[in-house]
Amino acid sequence: MPPAPQRLSPYEAVLGDELSKLHPRLATYFAAIPSASSGIGTGTFDVAGTPRRWLWPILWVLGKQGVMFPAWEHDLAFTVFNHPVVDARGNPAIVAIRTFHFSRGDRRMRDAITAEHGGLVDHLGVVRRYVAGLDCAVVDGSLRLASTILAIRIGNGHIRIPRFIAPKVTLLESFDDESDSQRVSVTVELPLVGRLYEYSGCFSYEIRPGEKYL
């Protein structure tokens, strides 16, 4: 019997030929991970969290869900673990676990990126309670993701957060040839308030056969 065809990654399913316009190392990063393998990255965030301490009680709740954390640190070591799966609807997905090595202990951010109805959807948290629809674009060899819809799962349904009060999430993935490392920058901003949360830094990445969840 011939081997089963390799499934597309969510990014391949949405970007199609646009994936080839990424920096070659990024194109590999966002391409399908071979079955029975995982992607492992290690690096350092220049900054992570927010200096706005009035937000920390809210972030404490979100931290319990593995979304965002009540902290503000510089030069923070981190790891990222990517594993390919297929969701309950048969959509290609990438489960990601990002471990922030904070001075007060490790915290894990968990999400799953899926390709649904021709677009990317990010399911955030331990129980995937928070959902973000993402606009996806290749810009000068880098990948830019920007949230278009934010919703909270309640029971079997979702409640959409009105756009005028919804935080906007922006992610930029790029590759720096000089340092031979991948760069990631994520910001969360609120209309009329400004930046609520962020993390950015560089990391190295490789595919490891047989690697399991951290």
Domain presence at residue 104: yes
Q: Please check whether residue 209 lies inside any domain of the structure.
A: no
Which pLDDT belongs to residue 25? 96
The closest alpha carbon to 33, from 80, 103, 1, belongs to 80
The phi and psi torsions of 186 (rounded to 5 degrees) equal -125, 130
* pLDDT at residue 212, as a whole number: 60
- Name the band, by pLDDT with cuts 50, 70 and 90, for residue 188: very high
In a domain, 4, yes or no: no
Residue 98: inside a domain, yes or no? yes
Reported confidence tier of residue 1, pLDDT bands at 50, 70, 90: very low
Q: Does the structure show a pLDDT above 60 at 122?
A: yes
User: Mean pLDDT across the stretch 57-72?
Assistant: 95
pLDDT at 6: 53
Containing structural domain, residue 69:
10-203
Confirm whether 118 is domain-assigned: yes
How far is the C-alpha of 128 from the C-alpha of 212, rounded, in Å? 20
Q: Is residue 146 part of a domain?
A: yes
* Residue 212 placed within a domain: no
Instruction: Say if residue 99's pLDDT is above 60.
Output: yes
| In a domain? residue 199 | yes
Number of separate domains in the chain: 1
Q: Which regions of 50-91 does DSSP assign to beta strands (E)?
A: 72-86
Instruction: Express each pLDDT in 8-55 by its tens digit.
Output: 899 999 999 999 999 999 999 999 998 789 999 999 999 999 999 999
Q: Which residues pair with 107 in a beta bridge?
A: 100
User: 165 pairs with which residues across the strands?
Assistant: none
The token pair at 94 is 């990438």
The band of 193, judged by pLDDT with boundaries at 50, 70 and 90, is confident
Are 169 and 147 contacting, i.e. CB atoms less than 8 angstroms apart? yes
CATH (domain of 199): 2.40.128
* Tokens encoding 167: 């935080």
The H or E element that residue 62 is part of is: helix 56-64
CA 23/CA 176 separation, integer angstroms: 9
